[in-house]
Amino acid sequence: MATLVLLNGPPASGKSTIAGRLVAGRPLALNLDIDVIRSLLGDWKTRPPEAGIAVRRLALAMAREHLGSGRDVIVPQFLAKAEFIDQLAESADLAGARFVEIALMISRADAVRAFQRRSAQPESAAHRDAFEAVTEAGGVDALTAMHDEYMDLMHGRTSARRVEVSIDDVDRTVANVESAISATL
């Protein structure tokens, strides 16, 4: 059975890295990175709310299509509100697929340090865009607020499989995510 895995976590918690590793071990699985899709929309930076709605609509359609063909979908995305999570779960259900929600857990201080370290040497346009967005939103204060909103959401999400992020040990974190996914079978 195809599976949609949501990798949710604060900025710089390792979502994209983990998604890449998960996809590498699943033939023709789709790494449905919302931030990458958003960057494909023209003039998205000047219209963030509209771009957010458009990219989520596109992502849901892509997920349903890929799941419907029997292939896995991995969605690495920071979400502090339940609406899109619920839409992803519904899309998986409509496609006859499983939905697994992974909550990457990292302390506020570790998340801020990881974000600052990543921003000093961004490896992708998405990382540069995230740095710009956080800077415009208020820098460290915005990051801590995002982390707190995420943690507030997680308190009420009993179905989310919590996985502690092992700072500087991606292999261990990926193994723990794989275990959490397997435990839902």
Backbone angles phi, psi at 10, to 5 degrees: -60, 160
- pLDDT at residue 104 in the model: 98
Q: Which pair of structure tokens corresponds to residue 107?
A: 């302390």
Mean pLDDT, the chain cut into blocks of 10 residues (185 residues total): 97 94 96 94 92 96 97 97 97 97 96 85 77 77 92 94 94 97 87
Question: What architecture does CATH give domain 3-182?
Answer: 3-Layer(aba) Sandwich (3.40)
CA distance 82 to 85: 5
Residues 127 and 106: their CA atoms lie apart, in Å, by 18
Q: Which DSSP state fits 100?
A: E
* Amino acid occupying residue 72: D
Measured distance CA(57)–CA(91) in Å, rounded = 11
What are the boundaries of each domain within the chain?
Answer: 3-182
pTM, entire model: 0.92
pLDDT for position 119: 82
